Amino acid sequence: MPRYTMDFGDKFDDMVNKLAEEKGITKAELIRRAVATYNYLSNETQNTKQLKVSLSDQNNKVLKDVILP
């Protein structure tokens, strides 16, 4: 498995630590999931001009639209 060495600021590290702890996963797994999610969303929106993802509740009511870079 390839290894990566990256330098991040303290705020990023705090955020990653908090999220990994809340989810009960390692920091590496959290970053893998984040990149996989970004890749999926990027692929799903690459053939459209609308780079937006909507977050919905159980009744399909849109709670928030997220614009992708």
pLDDT for 22 equals 98
Which among 54, 38, 43 has a CA at the least distance from the CA of 67?
Answer: 54
The tokens describing 21, both together, are 């702890």
Q: Which of 24, 26, 28 is nearest to 2 (CA)?
A: 28
CB 27 within 8 A of CB 16: yes
What confidence tens digit (pLDDT) does each residue in 6-61 have? 999 999 999 999 999 999 999 999 999 999 998 888 887 777 776 788 899 999 99
